Structure 1
Amino acid sequence: MEGGYGNRGSSFSQSRRGRGRGRGQRFPSNQSKVSSFAERGTPSSSSANRASASVISNTQEDDAQPSSNFVGTCPYMCPERERIQREKLRDLAIFERLHGNPGKSSPALAVKKFCRTISTKYVQASDMRPITVLEDTLNYLLSLLESKEHLFEVVHDFVFDRTRSIRQDITMQNIVNKKAIYMYEGMVKFHVVSHYKLWCSMSDPNTASLHHLNMEQLTKTLASLFNLYEANQNSNHVHENEAEFHSLYVLLHLGSYSQPMGEPLSLWFQRVSTPVLKSKEMCFARRILRSFRLGNYKDFFCTAAAQASYLQFCIMMPYINEVRVLALSCINFGGYKLHPYPLLDLSKLLFIKESDLESFCNHCGLETGTDESGNKLLPTKQTTFSHPKGGFQRYSFLGLQEYER
């Protein structure tokens, strides 16, 4: 089965056409083979033990009790006895049904469900999947995200639950090597892209709930990934994707002074290694966060358009319209009344289509006009400006379309 969670380094660093910078690759990537994991090394036992304890602490709600001597032997994506039981109960997701039959599945379709309370004391080795099977399972799950047959929310709900089960199996077997890192990166990537796609459908109350739950699992999975990086840390080497995934955590602080992992960002920075802290990905994230908080909308948009990867865009998109509102406010109240602002120039500044910008201005209570040549203008000093209530419709960001093709 082909790798669904990226081609290690290349999946997050492909150059963007004509821009000369890195970009994230949409997933699932079908370029790497699972067998290539076999060549990866394993961390020292002391580092592994520390990471195992840290990973477990980030998944305590799952009540997974680890065992250093526990090795799964299940050869399928779902243990046979669970599959048979769920067939009897007709508890099969739409992706697990053989020929659409809600009471029949197969080893090639059924995937182990997440169980909140589980312990190795009551689990047999045949109920736990070894790392190679977990890799294949994750590849299969991520491949479903390309499905056009079902709504994204439906696919997300299934992958969301089954990836939690994968993390649980990894924790219970104390797997903290580089194979686990690549799997966690794939799962973080899933949650990051879901963060963006679910946000695009936030008008639906059910989707808003999914978005909230996805954010919870995103922060937990990121925390576990950081612990795995630490366990496999080498003084002369930084993991190939480590800097970008650390930058995602910084970008999660956009929009407010929230603390996704329960601590100030300044304290978190103190624990980040110097090579990661000085990487271009982290410098980008810190600059974006600084521009956002200082209200420097020009630097925010120029930096984002020139340097952001797809994963970074996915985190930033919910906040881009907030910066656009700030820009409109500054231009409206700071502009010269006798010199309306050309909408074409403003659209280039805010990286938005001119037609979308006109709608955006109207949404903010601003009227637009045209000059004698037919060019659209934004008159300034309008007293009707207001911050839109109830959110925005989805507006474009010029450049993001390249990632979504």
Structure 2
Amino acid sequence: MSPPSCHQGLPHLNQVGIIHGWALSQMAQNISSQGFPSSWGSFRVGGAVIAGQSPDRSDSAVLGGAWLDQKVPQTVKQHWRTLYSISHSRRRGQPVERDWRQHHNQGVWREVQEERRQESIPRGVCLSMCPIRELQDREAQNLLHRFEVLSGTERERWPRADPSGVVKEYARPAAGKDSTRPSDLRPPAVLLKTVFYLVDNIAASPTLRPWTEVYDFVFDRLRSVRQDMIIQRVSGADCVAVLERTVRFLIYASYRLCGEPLRLYDPRINDTHLQESLSWLLECYTSGKHPNQEEFQALGLLYNLGSSRATQHTMELPERIRSSPVMHLALSVSRAFMERNPVRLLRLAHSLDFLQSCALHRHLVTCRRDLLLIYSHGHSSKNCRFPLHKLSHILALDVPLTNQLCQAHGVEVHGDSVVFSKTTFTEPEAGKLQCAHFHDLVDRKQRDLTVGSIIHGCT
């Protein structure tokens, strides 16, 4: 658009943009049209003399590369200053209409892309724990788990499915297989209902045995639940509730099934899924406040003692979370572990609750080994006798287990005394020490807690 004359209002910065030479010439013409006498002097812009003769520099005001005669009327001076400031504001990087339009269009484009993305996300419509087509296929192929068979048909050649007990199983993605059909996907509310069923009716059942089979069934069905959540990109409270119970179940299983044969329980696979679920859960916590956030931040730190990544994540948490009692205790345990202070770590471990002790238990073997090594160097003397019962208390073990642990590390035990020697300390043979045999510290805390109350967090 054409710039206005001097007696008109100046256009907005976004409408003016860069002030070019033709704009200044137009202003000069507007000044002349006002009939300003030449005796008012003149001003120079970019080497051009406007409205009269060039004034003497001694009685002119310099305005950043252009000088303005002081005799020029105040109206003209003010217009020039405004135009000059507009030109320099553009050079300082302030937005003009083109930049504003580009920024606006980018925002609109992002909104459109987000709407398209939301429209492309499949939404489940299956209101049962297992899609009807899968139920029929597995029943016809005799692939039902015994926990899913209708009561009274177990001994039949083709057991029938219990519609209220069949749960969708995990299926690996395969070429040509559509896993995004809405009829095969369960909405978030149904997924949460499925998790409650798995916890209350399967994992916490006092009649279903052995627990390794219970674990295998629940583990697979929880994996299927997470798969449905990933496909539908579920978030919010339902997602957090599912992940919290998944993490508790996997932590509890890592303690309860510790020492089981590899064909029945693989700790590496359990650890992989636990780390993935925990990482996903902690990411969900960044979207807002959640009542159980401190609990799971502490569990993540205790489970990953010695991990620089876990420690850094904890240090980046808000002060209100880090200063909570549960996080303060977990940080103290982590610091004792990093400083290789097993005595302090085991002392602090007595203050942990049951599930926190389950998360810590896989580090106890290393902690006790370090304690015996330190004592073997610090009390290495033939004339030094360390009371066995006192060492038992420090290790948080009973006396027979303390005796067994000392002998496995080459530490001599004479009656009620222990003789430490740095020359006799040895590493135990592979498989000689079973972690499951040294769970006293954790076992004492379970007391009357049920599996359901542990996984639901009602301890």
The two structures share one fold, judged by TM-score above 0.5: yes
1:275 to 307, 310, 320: 320
Name the structure 1 match of 2:139.
87
Alpha-carbon spacing, 1:321–1:123, altered in 2? closer, same or farther (3 Å): closer
Contact 1:195 1:314 in 2 (8 A): yes
Contact 1:366 1:382 in 2 (8 A): no
Indicate the structure whose relative CO is greater, using CA pairs within 8 Å and at least 6 residues apart: 1
The answer to whether residue 174 in structure 2 is matched with residue 131 in structure 1 is: no
* Aligned-partner Cα distance in 1 for 2:409–2:121: 61
* Aligned-partner Cα distance in 1 for 2:421–2:311: 39
User: After the TM superposition, which of the residue ranges 379-388 and 174-183 deviates more from structure 2?
Assistant: 379-388
User: After the TM superposition, which of the residue ranges 353-362 and 129-138 deviates more from structure 2?
Assistant: 129-138
Name the structure 1 match of 2:293.
242
Name the structure 2 match of 1:28.
none
* Aligned-partner Cα distance in 1 for 2:285–2:315: 16
Q: How many residues align?
A: 323
The answer to whether residue 432 in structure 2 is matched with residue 389 in structure 1 is: no
TM-score, length of structure 2 as denominator length? 0.64
Alpha-carbon spacing, 1:291–1:297, altered in 2? closer, same or farther (3 Å): same
Contact 1:66 1:173 in 2 (8 A): no
Q: Report the residue type matching 1:178 in the other structure.
A: A
* Aligned-partner Cα distance in 1 for 2:217–2:442: 31
Contact 1:353 1:398 in 2 (8 A): no
Name the structure 2 match of 1:117.
173
Deviation at 1:347, TM superposition (A): 1.0
User: After the TM superposition, which of the residue ranges 133-142 and 266-275 deviates more from structure 2?
Assistant: 266-275
User: After the TM superposition, which of the residue ranges 154-163 and 169-178 deviates more from structure 2?
Assistant: 169-178
Name the structure 1 match of 2:370.
326
Identity of paired residues, percent? 27
* Aligned-partner Cα distance in 2 for 1:89–1:315: 40
* Aligned-partner Cα distance in 1 for 2:318–2:120: 28
Matches within 5 A, 1:205-354: 205-207=262-264, 210-231=266-287, 233=288, 238-254=289-305, 257=307, 264-265=309-310, 267-269=312-314, 271-306=316-351, 308-335=352-379, 336-354=381-399
Contact 1:331 1:380 in 2 (8 A): yes
Contact 2:353 2:445 in 1 (8 A): no
Deviation at 1:404, TM superposition (A): 4.8
Q: Report the residue type matching 1:73 in the other structure.
A: V
The answer to whether residue 236 in structure 2 is matched with residue 193 in structure 1 is: no
Deviations 1:217-237 (A, max 9, x none): 111111111222122x1xxxx
* Aligned-partner Cα distance in 2 for 1:281–1:66: 38
Contact 1:301 1:351 in 2 (8 A): yes
Deviations 1:165-206 (A, max 9, x none): 1112223333312122112101111111112223232xx232
Name the structure 2 match of 1:157.
216
Alpha-carbon spacing, 1:281–1:200, altered in 2? closer, same or farther (3 Å): farther
2:228 to 166, 169, 172: 169
User: After the TM superposition, which of the residue ranges 377-386 and 159-168 deviates more from structure 2?
Assistant: 377-386
Alpha-carbon spacing, 1:67–1:332, altered in 2? closer, same or farther (3 Å): farther
Aligned residue for 1:368, secondary structure, equals strand
User: After the TM superposition, which of the residue ranges 326-335 and 86-95 deviates more from structure 2?
Assistant: 326-335
Matches within 5 A, 1:20-31: none
1:98 to 139, 143, 150: 150
Q: Report the residue type matching 1:327 in the other structure.
A: L
Deviation at 1:285, TM superposition (A): 2.1
The answer to whether residue 123 in structure 2 is matched with residue 71 in structure 1 is: yes
* Aligned-partner Cα distance in 2 for 1:312–1:399: 9
* Aligned-partner Cα distance in 2 for 1:69–1:399: 44
Deviations 1:262-291 (A, max 9, x none): xx3454345423322222222222221221
List gaps (5 residues or longer) in structure 2: 1-109, 449-459
Name the structure 1 match of 2:446.
403
Aligned residue for 1:378, secondary structure, equals strand
Deviations 1:85-116 (A, max 9, x none): 01111111221122425642121121001123
* Aligned-partner Cα distance in 1 for 2:224–2:386: 54
Deviation at 1:79, TM superposition (A): 0.8
Contact 1:305 1:399 in 2 (8 A): no
List gaps (5 residues or longer) in structure 1: 1-48, 54-64, 371-375
Deviation at 1:132, TM superposition (A): 2.6
Between structure 1 and structure 2, the one with the greater Rg is 2
Contact 1:96 1:110 in 2 (8 A): yes
* Aligned-partner Cα distance in 2 for 1:399–1:314: 7
User: After the TM superposition, which of the residue ranges 340-349 and 392-401 deviates more from structure 2?
Assistant: 392-401
Aligned residue for 1:142, secondary structure, equals helix
Aligned residue for 1:206, secondary structure, equals coil
